[in-house]
Amino acid sequence: MLYTRKGDNGTTKTFGCDQRISKSSIIAEALGALDETNSFLGVVRAKTNGIVFKIGNGEIKFADTILEVQQNLFIVQAEVAGATLFVSSEKVNRVEKVVDEIEKVLPPIKTFFISGATEIGAIFDFARTLARRAERRVVAAHEEGKIKISPETLSYLNRLSSLLYALARISSHSEGAEEIKPDYQ
């Protein structure tokens, strides 16, 4: 059944908890932002299916990388909802390794860039902004003491936006698109 009617009064339940919380609570906001990020990453994965970039001695398959992130975001959502799961340090290291490999082939960052150099770059940039919002919501719930989040999960959420930014840049770079700097005029 796709509906239970139990949330009709504006409340919901989290993992392993019999108590209902407001759908506008900071926990529900964090879970919603994570869900929104993960859902949009599904669009990104579908749009990038089959795109492969050679990086150093290896390659990056965009869809596989995004699927891995989506799986990890389910772990983050479970932790936020109260499960005893958390993102491992190995998963944080994996993201760092991908970002490091991408940075080896890109020009160094000296300024901000305007999104939209390529379609794929733009969707990665949008995913990055959603990931940042989700990170802010999770951090806020953690700081208010509403949830406990592992240091590894916090690190993962912070690295995720770096990964998405690196993927945006490499996709635009590989298509020969110019990164446009804001002129602040």
pLDDT at 112: 86
Nearest Cα to Cα of residue 136 among 23, 13, 26: 26
> Can you tell me the distance from the alpha carbon of 170 to that of 128, in angstroms, rounded to the nearest whole number?
14
Kindly report the pTM of this predicted structure. 0.89
Question: How far is it, in rounded angstroms, from Cα 64 to Cα 157?
Answer: 18
- What is the architecture, at CATH level 2, of domain 26-105+112-174? Up-down Bundle (1.20)
Q: Has residue 19 got a pLDDT over 90? A: no
pLDDT of residue 102: 93
37: its two tokens: 């990020």
For residue 134, give every residue at least 6 positions away whose Cβ sits within 8 Å of its Cβ, in sequence order, or none: 30, 33, 34, 36, 37, 157
The answer on pLDDT for 70 being more than 90 is yes
CB neighbourhood size of 28 (10 A): 20
**Coil, helix or strand for 129?**
helix
Cα dihedral sign, 129-99-182-52? negative
Confidence of residue 174 (pLDDT cuts 50, 70, 90): confident
